[in-house]
Amino acid sequence: MKTRLSDKNIRRFYRLLSVRMIDFDCGELCAPKHGGIPYCCDNSGVVPVLFREEFKWQRKMDSFWKRMPVRTKVDRKLIDETCPHNILAECSGHKRCIRSRRSFICMTFPFEPHIGRDGEILGLAYIDDGHDGCVLLKKPQKIYNPAYIANSILFWQELFDVFPEEMELYAVESRGRERRAKKKGKKVRIFKQRNGKR
């Protein structure tokens, strides 16, 4: 399979996402409600997705990340249905977390890009997975580091340059998010850079 993300891309993405999102450890707030495991670190409920090159880059250093093992038919189905440029993986667990080694998706959670109808990234929106286990959901923009918001948007823009099909997936999710919000009589909350905050 053709390499699409270079080591240079990966190092740049990690630099962009290394800016702290918030000035406190949100895992300390949610872990007590989830059996001592932060919501986003529970491999039994959240399966991290890494880009193939990202996974290989991580594995060059050590075994912090491993491929998700196949334990059930559901696991096999998940793996079979995963995009060819992605790998489902498991980290070494929250107790042995190395923050600088988290995956791109771990570093952007609980956000994902919200795509406008013209294909432009309008900003970040909370992931709408039907669960409210993350304590950051529904929090106002003021708790987030503005540099983190700006860097995350830049990360997604540059990632979509390499993987345009990923933008298509997020565009579909954005339309679904808008429909779900409209049914509730609400607007989607979009987190923008400060000069265009909402």
pLDDT digit string (tens) for 13-72?
Answer: 999 999 999 988 888 887 888 788 887 887 766 778 999 999 999 999 988 999 998 888
State the amino acid at position 29 in one-letter form.
Answer: L
* Predicted local distance difference test score (pLDDT) of residue 38: 83
Question: Does 111 or 130 have the greater pLDDT score?
Answer: 111
CA dist 98 and 93 (Å) reads 9
* Predicted local distance difference test score (pLDDT) of residue 196: 43
Confidence class for position 195, pLDDT limits 50, 70, 90 = low
Question: Does 135 or 53 have the greater pLDDT score?
Answer: 53
pLDDT digit string (tens) for 69-122?
Answer: 888 898 899 888 888 999 999 998 888 888 888 999 999 999 999 999 999 999
Q: How far is CA 39 from CA 21, 25, 164, in A?
A: 16, 12, 30
pLDDT digit string (tens) for 164-181?
Answer: 999 999 999 999 999 999
Res 197 pLDDT > 80? no
Q: Where are the domains of the chain?
A: 7-196
* Predicted local distance difference test score (pLDDT) of residue 155: 97
- Specify which of 75-79, 125-129, 155-159 reaches the highest per-range mean pLDDT: 155-159
* Predicted local distance difference test score (pLDDT) of residue 198: 41
